Structure 1
Amino acid sequence: MGKTDQIAVTHARRLRRPENDGHHELQRPPGRQRARHTGKWGFWTPPVDRSGRTVTLSGEAERVELKVVSSERQCRALDLERYAVQTRRVFFLDTPDRALDRHGLIIRIRDMGDRPDDAVVKLRPMASHTVPKWLRRTSRLEVEIDAMPGHRVCSGSLKVRLGRGVVGRALSKGRPLAKLVAPPQRRLLAACGPAGVSLTDLIVFGPVEVQKYKLQPTGFDGQLSAERWAFPDGSTILELSTRCPVGEAPAVAARLTEVLAAHGVEPAELQVTKTATTLRYFG
């Protein structure tokens, strides 16, 4: 994606109107048509093996995070601005040639403003890594399935709280953000990262200014998060997401699809992660 490009948004496949499932009829904004969906997962598709059976990507995953990238225009009916907003700055660390990214490793540092900052090391996809036994034993690795329309992957995250204002102070003193990576995270990087890469090799990709909203659209029982990522050239991406237990994912995905469609929200044609967009933008 070029630095002046907006994320391409076109009409995706529309959703098929389902039979009455006992839910009340959703109210659609004037002029909006009900979209159509195929399959029980709506916008999303279930993980399947070669025989077509639904399978669990990882026996360790307890949750699914359903994500969909849309646009400001598509999400206008959600009226995000009426909800409280949390602001943050997000940084990623990698080598100049993105060696960590190529090995399925992500380092993310967040300046959370008036809330505690944090650092995350993520394995994605987890299936491509041999996770150290010490990490499995300590149960510090949070395992979940990331699902986007047309794509899903099992990921594992090791998160450390840094305290309030830690990132800002490091930046003001000229300290490398890589020094904020905690010892357990360093051990994970050493065990799963590319050979010969050290923290001193890492550079900063970012920051991206992020606004996060938490909302509960009419007809949806769970909480929906909306994140607006704004890049220096004025381009933005808008991602909607919700989390649920693995066993509830088909029902939650189908219902959320219907609720979003009722508000005129459709997926962008290009479904790309926030991480990939940021690394490409600043790379």
Structure 2
Amino acid sequence: MGSDKSKKGSVASGGSGVCHPWTDLADAQKRASTVRHVELKFLVPESSHDAVLKAPELSRRDVRTRQVWFFDTPDLELRDSGLILRARRNKRGDDDAVVKLRRESPIPLPGRIRRSPNLRVELDALPGMSWWSAALGRSLAPAAIRAALRGRRPLSSLFSAEQRAFARGHAEHRIDLDGLSRLGPIEVVRRRTAPRDGGPGLVVEDWTYPDGARLVEVSARCRVDRVAATAAAAGRFLTEQGVDPGAGQRTKTGASLEHLSGL
């Protein structure tokens, strides 16, 4: 249900002769017509990591670092239910915890959830695949994550009552939040590109796992009516760095969960 197995993306025109790898945006938008925003994502093949991270468009000043942990069962039952539980320690800004639900098509949400100021609903679009996603977030006190990871507080304390109910309501099996595996930390360096010719800025994230393995993702979030222009700008950036637009794709979350769990 929440699978993001690798698929091949092909090249499609983004206008003005620009190619981009998001070939199914029209179908994806139609399936998720309830969203106002789309986040385009592209997992960069390892052979192009250095080229993307050294791109001249990347800001050398607006650099943000964070640590990320995921929480799941040893065999990733939550991931298989389309649920993602995550906590982040941010060097700049508040720490936070998120419960995200991913589905292939929109599902009805209770009114109290739809009205929550903590909810963000959007379409996650990768080449050849897309998901409707609903994420409930909360800010955390500076020491909350450390205390939970060291056993001084229960893991469930990282998540609000609203988040806990949301997770349990959409899991395929009973969840013991305090018994979940801690997967991390992942060291993240996040940079942005400067907007060019009035186009959107892109986000480049460099994720490093505890064993030194890495992944790099290029992404951009935009309104639905700006998705074609944003895809064209992202495709132009990837092309200029020599990235293969047909590289097999999956989400960085899915890749990270499997890497950290050893599955």
1:148 to 108, 126, 130: 126
Q: 2:31 aligns with which of 36, 51, 57?
A: 57
TM-score of the aligned structures, taking structure 1 as reference length: 0.78
CA shift for structure 1 position 152 = 1.3
In the TM superposition, what is the alpha-carbon distance from 1:73 to its structure 2 partner? 2.8
Q: Once the 2 structures are TM-superposed, how far is the Cα of residue 265 of structure 1 from its aligned partner?
A: 3.5
Is the 8 Å Cα contact of residues 42 and 249 (structure 2) preserved in structure 1?
A: yes
Corresponding residue SS for 2:225: helix
CA distance in structure 2 between the partners assigned to 1:211 and 1:95 by the alignment: 27
Using the TM superposition, name which of 159-168 and 226-235 deviates more: 159-168
Shift in alpha-carbon separation, 1:220–1:43, aligned structure 2, 3 A: farther
Q: TM-score, normalised by structure 2?
A: 0.83
Contact 1:104/1:124 (CA < 8 Å) preserved in 2? yes
Aligned partner of 2:55: which letter?
A: L
**Which amino acid in 2 is paired with 1:110?**
R
Q: Distance in 2 between matches of 1:19 and 1:48?
A: 18
Q: Aligned partners of 2:208 and 2:189: how far apart in 1?
A: 8
Secondary structure at the aligned position of 1:75 is classed as: helix
Determine the structure 1 residue equivalent to 2:208. 230
Which segments of 5 or more consecutive residues in structure 2 lack a partner in the other structure? 1-5
1:147-226 matches, cutoff 5 A:
147-172=125-150, 174-216=152-194, 218-219=196-197, 221-226=199-204
CA RMSD of aligned residues (A): 2.8
1:86 aligns with 2:58: no
State the alpha-carbon separation in 1 of the partners of residues 218 and 123 from structure 2. 16
Contact 2:67 2:185 (C-alpha < 8 Å) held by counterparts? yes
Q: Which residue of 2 aligns with 1:45?
A: 23
- Give the Å deviation of 1:252: 1.7
Q: CA deviation at 1:47?
A: 3.8
State the shift of 1:57 in Å: 2.7
Taking the aligned partners of 1:263 and 1:270, their CA distance within structure 2 comes to 17
Provide the aligned length of Structure 1 versus Structure 2: 251
State how far apart, in whole Å, the 2-side matches of 1:18 and 1:222 are: 15
1:261: how far off? 1.4
Match of 2:3 in 1: none
| Counterpart for residue 66 of structure 1 | 40
More strand by proportion, 1 or 2?
2
Deviation at 1:194, TM superposition (A): 2.2
Kindly indicate whether the alpha-carbon contact (under 8 Å) linking 1:205 and 1:282 is maintained by their aligned counterparts in 2: yes
Using the TM superposition, give the Cα deviation of residue 148 of structure 1 relative to its aligned residue in structure 2, in angstroms.
Answer: 1.2
Pick from 80, 83, 88: which aligns with 1:110?
Answer: 88
Secondary structure at the aligned position of 2:178 is classed as helix
Q: CA deviation digits over 1:168-196, x for unaligned, max 9?
A: 34334543433211110011112111232
Runs of 4 or more consecutive aligned structure 1 residues displaced over 6 Å after TM superposition: 14-18
Task: Give how far 1:130 is off.
Answer: 4.5
Contact in 2 for aligned 1:226/1:241 (Cα 8 Å): yes
Distance 1:243 1:19, change over 3 A: closer
> In structure 2, what is the Cα distance between the partners aligned to 1:254 and 1:134?
37
| Deviation string, structure 1 residues 122-144 (Cα, Å, up to 9, x no partner) | 01016375423321233542111
Q: Which residue of 2 aligns with 1:270?
A: 248
CA contact (8 A) 1:141 1:156 kept: yes
Amino acid at match of 2:75: D
Unmatched 5+ stretches in structure 1? 1-7, 21-35
Q: Residue 242 of structure 1 aligns with which residue?
A: 220
Contact 1:69/1:267, CA 8 A, preserved across alignment = no
- Give 1 or 2 for the bigger CA radius of gyration: 1
Structure 2 distance, partners of 1:17, 1:196, is 44
